Amino acid sequence: MTDNTASSSSAASDASGSDDGVFAAFMELHRGLPRQSPGSDDSTRHLLSLCGPLPERPRVLDLGCGPGRSALLLAAEAGGAGLAEVTAVDLHGPFLDELRAAAAARGLDGRVRTVRADMGALAPEDFEDGSFDLVWAEGSAYILGFDRALAEWKRLLAPGGRLVLTECEWTVEEPSAGARAFWDPQYPLRSTARNTAAVQAAGYRVLGTRLQPDSDWAEYYGPLGERARAAVPASPAEEAALGYVREELAVRERHGHEYGYTGFVLAPVTAGDGGRWRTRPEAPADAAAVRAVNLAAFGTPLEADLVDALRADAGAWLPGLSYVAEGPDGEVAAHALLTRCRVDGVPALALAPVAADPAVQGSGAGSAVVRALLAAAREAGEALVLVLGHPSYYPRFGFTPASRFGIRAPFEVPDGAMMALVLDDSVPVPAGTISYPAPFGV
């Protein structure tokens, strides 16, 4: 079910006086529907493709599986050899009954195991740390909340494991009062940029995202709407549940262009990605240590002088967008800086320099500070970052050749070395020549 359906059932129960009755009425309205949340086989396959290679016989955990549309597809296709072993978890027994019957009909009953359990209280003795190659949650993470799901499900992933979950988000910069009046009391939505910042803060890297198309909503709301129109409530609980389902459908009709589901495909940050390094914004007392790291990393004063000059340039320096990584002793071990630049007059960010003390290079300190800095930029509402750097290093953060967007440097540079990262895909990407702050000297 969608985020608001479960929340609305609680509100409806207040009106009807029976939690159990309203919940049962909601379940009955959804019983036998092809989907319990917006989605499609195409979207499931697309998200699966973004996971990259999986073991031949991947161990898959589908949380909040409902009647198992995704679980069945994953059992048949995850890993590419048709050998996936799926553990499907849900609290609603009738959904699991439907899934078992469907798995048997498809000859998958030996590889789909159903477990009636609360996905927010998975017992460690039953769901051991590192026991799944793929953890999947389409349309269900809201039950815990996005941030809690990220935190609690991470332990379940085996080395190289993937977490795939979908989250309802605002798709416009300024949602209308009508849309907020419906969502804010039940499940406050965030933007993709803010959810991505939460993902990175929780220690994941984003392998890919997908904004689910309107057709995914139609696959869910079409059958649900038909049932709601035909329903004749026989009790106050049924009337309350039906009223909230109809409200949900009406809000989507009026405000559907303002929100949508985004699928996130995530991998935990490993030690080599910088997971053991504490990162934070630069403090005034760090200036000397930041200079020392840049001097040590580059062997010349050019980059250290550049940082000092940018810090003194009010038009270039952006408070909160100079980050450091601390070593175990609390000393600054790495530094990364974003300052204001422009593309054809449109504000953007320049990532430079990025420096790690030679003693910690290769340990992930540089990756850690870059990831934290980019997350901070997303949280600050920035839309575009540009970097001139090694084309084998920066793509790990999501950078692609800037030329794909029609962006070029103001000097000759190999095409693959000038890269761009879009932080907010709701903002048009400008094309044109980059204008750097004066301290860059270009």
pLDDT digit string, tens, across residues 277-294? 788 999 999 999 999 999
Q: How far is residue 424's CA from residue 192's CA, in Å, rounded to a whole number?
A: 7
Split at pLDDT 50, 70, 90, the class of 270 is low
∠ CA(36), CA(169), CA(190), 5° rounding? 135
pTM over 0.75: no
Measure the CA–CA gap between 337 and 349, rounded to whole angstroms: 10
Helices (H), 51-187: 69-77, 93-105, 146-153, 177-183
Using a pLDDT cut of 90, give the percent of the chain over it: 65
245, 391, 432 from 153: Cα distances, Å = 30, 33, 43
Give the model's confidence band at 10: pLDDT under 50 very low, under 70 low, under 90 confident, else very high.
very low
**Measured distance CA(131)–CA(129) in Å, rounded:** 6
Q: What are phi and psi of 280, to 5 degrees?
A: -165, 165
Across all residues in the chain, what is the average pLDDT? 89
**How many other CB atoms are found less than 10 A from the CB of residue 204?**
24
What SS3 class is residue 119?
A: coil
307 near 353, Cβ under 8 Å? yes
Residue-wise burial string across 64-78, b where 16 or more C-beta atoms lie within 10 A, e elsewhere: bbbbbbbbbbbbbbb
**Amino acid at position 8, single letter:** S
Among 312, 411, 314, 393, residue whose Cα is nearest residue 351: 393
3-16 helix and 236-255 helix, angle to the nearest 10 degrees: 140
Token pair listed for 254: 């009026």
Average of pLDDT values for 34-55?
91
Backbone torsions φ then ψ of 169, nearest 5 degrees = -140, 160
- The model's confidence at residue 16, banded by pLDDT at 50, 70 and 90, is very low
Query: What value does the mean pLDDT take over residues 107-126?
Result: 93
149-186, pLDDT tens digit by residue? 998 999 999 988 999 999 999 999 899 999 999 999 99
Mean of pLDDT values over 10-39: 69
- Would you mind telling me the total number of residues written for the chain in this entry? 442
CB of 134 within 8 A of CB of 54?
Answer: yes
Residue type, 160: G
Angle at 227 between CA 222 and CA 232, to 5 degrees: 155
Backbone angles phi, psi at 126, to 5 degrees: -95, -30
What percentage of the chain carries pLDDT values higher than 70? 94
pLDDT at 276: 64
How much is the average pLDDT of 403-428? 91
Tell the residue number behind the tokens 């359906």, with chain if given. 5
Residue 81's pLDDT is what?
A: 75
Average pLDDT over residues 62-86: 92
pLDDT tens for residues 345-385?
999 999 999 999 999 888 888 988 998 899 889 888 899 99
Give the pLDDT confidence score for residue 201 in this predicted structure.
Answer: 73
According to the model, what pLDDT value does residue 325 have? 92
